[in-house]
Structure 1
Amino acid sequence: MKIALISGTSGLVGMQLLHQLMKSSQYDFILSVGRRKLALKHDKLIQIEGDLFSLSSWDWEAKVRAESLGGHYNEFIDAISSKTAEIHAFSSLGTTIKVAGSKERFYAIDHDLVIGFAAWAKKLGASSFLYVSAMGADATSSIFYNKVKGETEEDLKTFQFSYLGLFRPSLLLGNRSEFRLGEQLASILMKPLVWLKLAKNIRPIYDYQVAKAMVSTALSPSSKSVEVVTSGQMQDLSQ
């Protein structure tokens, strides 16, 4: 049995990632954890909600049973409890400093919540962890955003998953729920690179391309324990 754990489904990539996981015939169940549930139903999708900052103390089994009508998810619970499932975890958690309200709050979401989710996934038996980072991720960067993404990548390595995929997309294209002026202007200026198929690693990439690349990578055997996947590679993987 294959199980996907996912956090960050309300975001741009997260929503597409959830769609790709539901489309895949290889995943038997998808467990989504978040602050709130999406208005979405699917036979293999299980949604549980709560304060993600206290995820480590969640009684996930009780939450899943509360969603299980007629014991529909008993097989899922048994597979995790008996350690017989192959579990892949996907994180697309992230925000902006403007939305977060402060650098401290941004760090709490983009670093602490991701690391907390990774620790929880590892405890449940996840062998693979796939994380949406950023093109400029660098723990030594003088740019705060890139520094936080880089620190998160470095801290994820300490969990020693059998496979850790660090996905570094360039500017993301898609239908965001909130308006971001800077990104809108940048996408207008850089879209010709997409049309002309130039500068593959820096040209904008669509949300669904990132999602398809992540699922494809999760389902493909890799000889690497830690892998950085560039924006250009994601575009190749999503074709």
Structure 2
Amino acid sequence: MKIALISGTSGLVGMQLLHQLLNRGEYLWIISVGRRKLAIKHGKLIQIEGDLAKIIDWDWEEKIKEQSLGGEYHELISAISGKTAEIHAFSSLGTTIKVAGSKEKFYAIDHDLVLGFAKWAKGLGAEKFLFVSAMGADTGSSIFYNEVKGKTEEDLKTLKFGYLGLFRPSLLLGNRHEFRFGEQVATILMKPLVWLKLAKNIRPIYDYQVAKAMVLTANQSKSEPMEIITSGQMQDLTQ
């Protein structure tokens, strides 16, 4: 039995990632975790909600059982508890300093919540962890956003998953819920690179391409325990 765990489904890449997971045949169950449930129904989807800052303490079995009318999740719970399932975890958790309200709150989401989800997934038996980072992720960066992404990557490495995929997309294209002036300007200036298929590592990339690349990568055999996937590599994977 192959199971996907996913966090960050309300975001740009997260929504596309959930769509990919639900509509492809690799996973029997998809368990989405978040502060609240999405208005989506699907036979393979189980949504559990709560305070993500306390996810380590969640009684995940009880949360799943609460949604089971006739014990239809018994096999799923048994497979996770008995460590007989193949589990892949996907995280696209992330925000901006503007939306978060401060650097401290941004760090709490983009670092702490990601690490908390990763530790929880590892505890459930996840063998692979796939994370949406950023093109400029670097612990030594003078840009706070990139510094935090770099710190998150480094801390994920310490958890020693069987495979850790760090996806570093460039500027993301897609239908965002909130308006971001800087990104709108950058999109207008850089979108010709997409049309002309130039500079694939820095040109904008569509949200669905990142999501598809993550699912494809998760289902490949990997010889290395950690891999950085660039924006250009994601575009090559999804052509």
Q: TM-score, normalised by structure 1?
A: 0.99
Q: Which residue of 1 is the match for residue 69 of structure 2?
A: 69
Q: Which residue of 1 is the match for residue 25 of structure 2?
A: 25
Identity over aligned pairs, percent: 77
Q: Map 1:1-239; keep pairs closer than 5 Å.
A: 1-239=1-239
CA distances 1:48-93 after superposition (whole Å, capped 9, x unpaired): 0010000011100000001112111111101101100000000000
CA distances 1:192-226 after superposition (whole Å, capped 9, x unpaired): 00000000000000000000000000000011100
Q: Secondary structure at the match of 2:160?
A: coil
Whole-angstrom distance in 1 between the partners of 2:119 and 2:7: 13
Moved over 6 A (4+): none
Whole-angstrom distance in 2 between the partners of 1:74 and 1:236: 40
Q: Secondary structure at the match of 2:42?
A: coil
Whole-angstrom distance in 1 between the partners of 2:2 and 2:64: 17
Whole-angstrom distance in 1 between the partners of 2:96 and 2:196: 30
Q: Following TM superposition, by how much is the alpha carbon of 1:145 offset from its aligned partner in structure 2, in angstroms?
A: 0.4
Q: Following TM superposition, by how much is the alpha carbon of 1:182 offset from its aligned partner in structure 2, in angstroms?
A: 0.6
CA distances 1:13-37 after superposition (whole Å, capped 9, x unpaired): 0000000000111100000000000
CA distances 1:143-201 after superposition (whole Å, capped 9, x unpaired): 10000000000000000000000000000000001111111111011000000000000
Q: Secondary structure at the match of 2:27?
A: coil
Q: Secondary structure at the match of 1:224?
A: coil
Whole-angstrom distance in 2 between the partners of 1:48 and 1:108: 21
Whole-angstrom distance in 2 between the partners of 1:176 and 1:74: 37
Whole-angstrom distance in 1 between the partners of 2:186 and 2:141: 22
Count of equivalent residues: 239
Whole-angstrom distance in 2 between the partners of 1:21 and 1:28: 10
Q: Which runs of 5+ in 1 are unaligned?
A: none
Q: Secondary structure at the match of 1:67?
A: coil
Whole-angstrom distance in 2 between the partners of 1:182 and 1:96: 12
Whole-angstrom distance in 2 between the partners of 1:87 and 1:77: 12
Whole-angstrom distance in 1 between the partners of 2:190 and 2:179: 18
Whole-angstrom distance in 2 between the partners of 1:237 and 1:211: 11
Whole-angstrom distance in 2 between the partners of 1:92 and 1:34: 12
1:72 corresponds to which letter in structure 2? E
1:145 corresponds to which letter in structure 2? Y
Q: Secondary structure at the match of 2:3?
A: strand
Q: Secondary structure at the match of 1:217?
A: helix
1:174 corresponds to which letter in structure 2? G
CA distances 1:70-117 after superposition (whole Å, capped 9, x unpaired): 111111101101100000000000000000000000000000000000
Whole-angstrom distance in 1 between the partners of 2:30 and 2:238: 21
Output the aligned Cα RMSD: 0.5
Q: Which runs of 5+ in 2 are unaligned?
A: none
